[in-house]
Structure 1
Amino acid sequence: MSELPKLTVVIPAAGIGKRMQANQAKQYLILKGKTILQHTVERFIDLPYVDTIVVAIANNDSKFSDLDIANHSKVTTVFGGKERADSVLQGLSVAQTNGSEWVMVHDAARPCVTQSDIDNLYRQCLTQNSAGILASPVRDTMKKAKLVTDSSTIAETIDRTDMWHALTPQCAKTSELKGAIESQLDANGLVNKQITDEASALELANKPVLLVTGSVKNIKITMPEDLELAEFYLTSENKN
């Protein structure tokens, strides 16, 4: 497979990340001299098969236009919605208009994804003509909780043999993913609460989704302590 088909990347960045406990949206927190969002977008910009990067921002976003990446020829923006799926649908519409057969959706707060993992995912999806996600096998013993008043106790231990952590990017054919998400909208245009990522929409549409092993360093910055770990990973990359 010499030249890969052109790809559109959608990055939902309209949320605020309440668990981060910051005074601004977490994607605009500074990490090694750049915003998290800038690090994330730059992971895709240099890939030759990435044609367009659609960043879904909030209606009242006043920060994105100040970033260097805002002026890059590959980068465009759309206004996102209340839910992740709403933002993704806006990005998928751009991909469809551009005639992009394949699309990847990636979390704005995952700045440590490697280009080799992105490349491997895309090649696997193309080779098998299937949707796929980066994922990592569960290593820890998994416990299901039972809520007792305001604390939890263990209800049972879950067999981790077939358990995986779902990461991003998640890759699919544009029309397939758009149709899968739209099929889970109710009469008011609200998305099914079971749709927590793109793969879950495809699962409900009975579409196969590949699990492609990705690096555990591809963390999602969610809690304040995640910033320190992400900085460590990015610094280690530069040293290598």
Structure 2
Amino acid sequence: MNEVFLGTTLSAMSTGLGALVILFIGGSITHRWRDTLLAFTAGIMMAASTMGLIPEALSIGGFVPLAIGVFLGVFTLTILEKNIPHIDLEHTKKGIEFDEKAMLIIAAITLHNIPEGLSVGVSYASNNGGDTGNLIAFAIGLQNAPEGFLVALFLVNQKISRFKAFIVSTLTGAIEIVSGLLGYYLTNYIAFLVPYGLAFAAGAMLFIIYKELIPESHGDGHERTSTYSFIIGLLFMVLLIDLF
């Protein structure tokens, strides 16, 4: 129990770690660097889902629970996307008043963090327990760090103080602690849910990778740099899986 709480907390608080950077830099960063960060985290998540979550779900429950869980993850993210207005952090122009726009982006990021927390929680409930859980917590944490930075950067560009932007961005990740513990308890005490939960997490991550991270990392003419960064991120995570 201590391990799952620590893992979900560290993963969630990585959002704040990324946002912390905003306290020490100006209110802007080049598109190339943002695209590189997004692509790198996409590679991290791709390796974690295809080499961690999917094989684990397949070995525990077989193909049918895997397929059902993946589609449930994709469907859940699709519903969230359709009902929560998505604001592209990379390419939007100013023009919407702060109160409306800021609340939309905060709500969207917070709700999109729920499946990520579930991913960590159900991973700790698998047969490999700590190994898979730590792997997914690390992957989600790496994804959360640049996300936290981009949210804080957005708020600073909306004339919010850097400290307030850091606090708000950090709080958007806190929901992952609650959803992570919920995912752990559900799958830990209802054993047959474990392969579905792992596959759900994989489906949610794959949706985020293909629908959000890759398109956003290719939106400013840095496709080649982003592609290299994606591959490096994937290989980095494969190395960690192999070592640990």
Please, what TM-score do these two structures have when normalized by structure 1?
Answer: 0.27
Rg bigger for which structure?
Answer: 1
Judging by fraction of residues, say which structure has more strand.
1
The structure showing larger relative contact order (alpha-carbon pairs under 8 Å, at least 6 residues apart) is 2
Judging by fraction of residues, say which structure has more helix.
2
Please, what TM-score do these two structures have when normalized by structure 2?
Answer: 0.26
